[in-house]
Amino acid sequence: MKRRSFLTASLGAIAAGSCAWPRHAPVHTGVALAFGTTIQIALVHADEQVARTAIADALAAAQRVDHLMSIYRPGSQVYQLNRDGVLHQPDPHLLAVLAQARALSQLTRGAFDITVQPLWRAWNEALARGVLPAPAQRRQARARVDWRQVAFDARRVTLAPGMAITLNGLAQGYAADMALAAVQAHGVRHALLDTGEFVARGRKRAHQPWTLGVRDPRREQALAATLFINGCGVATSGDYASSFTPDHLHHHIFDPAAGDSPQELASVTVMAPTGMLADGLSTAFMVLGREKAALLAASLAGVDLLAIDKQGREWRSAGFAPQAA
């Protein structure tokens, strides 16, 4: 899993200004490696020892999710499942993410589907040869995509022959949620957690919320929006993070029904009650397109979105103000 660098937060700047919120409760930060990149945590607490313990526990919680759900680590349960087609004694955390995946697949009528991994493999292998996959290769990969063929309970997880899953559309958000739970267990009320997706609670200073910048999908150094967040998760999916073609028409997000990338949107940013839900919905909304995504977001409590199409046009839901959330 590789971090999708669509959202930015100045954690170093937060630490530099820690005396402002308030003096007896400075900002503490920590970093670690997970999901193929650096994950970060900033929190506000008066007791430095408590803060340091909370940071260590939070980073460890996020790393456990990575070690459990990576498609690349031979020791991960997802790797073993994809290799063997069956996994005995699945970890409760894996079961929680699989349950969320199933719920999102049902909610979006299959627009969200963790079994798109065969499509990724087909496109990635073709890219290594400098070509696009032939129609027959696409059809063959598409035939192995069907979220309904993933069966799981507390004893085992099974896949149909030839299938494979990826939890890249949920695991980083779930890791942020688990890291948040870890810091809250130490009584920390103000924290920003960055695992590639974000969750935030409280504020970074007495009168200043945690602030995120949403990258413009076509200008790497420009921002499409600035968010002031508290009590929610934030995730962005875009066509530019891992493209198979320079025009971004073919990229790492797949429409399971088409066996190719969705063509309308360049990026979607979602705010939701949890990091995992924001993570999954950002992928699903890319596949659904603006109109269907907006209708679905309006039906879900606490969910807002910013959608930007390939021509640079923007649509924001009611809770997604022009410069702040």
Residue 244 has pLDDT above 80, yes or no: no
Residue 258 has pLDDT above 90, yes or no: no
249 or 29, higher pLDDT: 29
- Would the annotation count 8 as a binding residue? no
pLDDT at 3: 40
Tens digits of residue pLDDT in 103-149? 999 999 999 999 999 998 888 888 888 888 888 888 999 999 999 99
Residue 10 has pLDDT above 90, yes or no: no
CA distance 317 to 306: 7
**Choice among 218-232, 257-271, 295-309 with the minimum mean pLDDT:** 218-232
232 or 4, higher pLDDT: 232
DSSP line for 210-226:
EEEEEEETTEEEEEEEE
Residue 9 has pLDDT above 70, yes or no: no
Q: Which residue has the tokens 């308030």?
A: 22
Confidence of residue 234 (pLDDT cuts 50, 70, 90): very high
Q: For residue 210, how many C-alpha atoms fall within 13 Å in the half-sphere facing its CB?
A: 27
Residue 292 has pLDDT above 80, yes or no: yes
- Would the annotation count 279 as a binding residue? yes
227 or 82, higher pLDDT: 82
* Strand partners of residue 43: 28, 191
pLDDT at 11: 43
- Amino acid letter, 222: A
CA distance 45 to 27: 7
DSSP state of 324: -
For the entire predicted model, the pTM comes to: 0.90
Mean per-residue pLDDT of the chain: 88
Residue 51 has pLDDT above 60, yes or no: yes
Give yes or no for a contact between 301 and 267, defined as CB atoms under 8 angstroms apart: no
Burial 247-273 (b: 16+ CB within 10 A, else e): ebebbbbbbbeebbbbebbbbbbbbbb
Give yes or no for a contact between 297 and 290, defined as CB atoms under 8 angstroms apart: no
Q: Does domain 77-158 have CATH number 1.10.3980.10?
A: yes
Q: Where are the alpha helices (DSSP H) in the chain?
A: 11-16, 48-69, 77-84, 92-107, 117-128, 135-142, 171-184, 275-288, 290-299
Q: What integer is the mean pLDDT of 10-32?
A: 57
Domains of the chain, by residue range, sit at: 7-69+174-316, 77-158
Give yes or no for a contact between 244 and 127, defined as CB atoms under 8 angstroms apart: yes
For CA atoms 78, 80, 84, 86, the dihedral sign is negative
Give yes or no for a contact between 64 and 93, defined as CB atoms under 8 angstroms apart: yes
CA distance 243 to 140: 21
Provide the percentage of residues in the chain whose pLDDT is more than 90. Answer: 66
CA distance 287 to 113: 10
Residue 14 has pLDDT above 50, yes or no: no
Tens digits of residue pLDDT in 267-276? 999 999 999 9
Give yes or no for a contact between 201 and 230, defined as CB atoms under 8 angstroms apart: yes
Task: Tell me which H or E stretch contains 309.
Answer: strand 304-309
6 or 191, higher pLDDT: 191
Question: And the tokens for 233?
Answer: 């998760």
pLDDT at 80: 97
- Would the annotation count 283 as a binding residue? yes
Class for the domain spanning 7-69+174-316: alpha beta
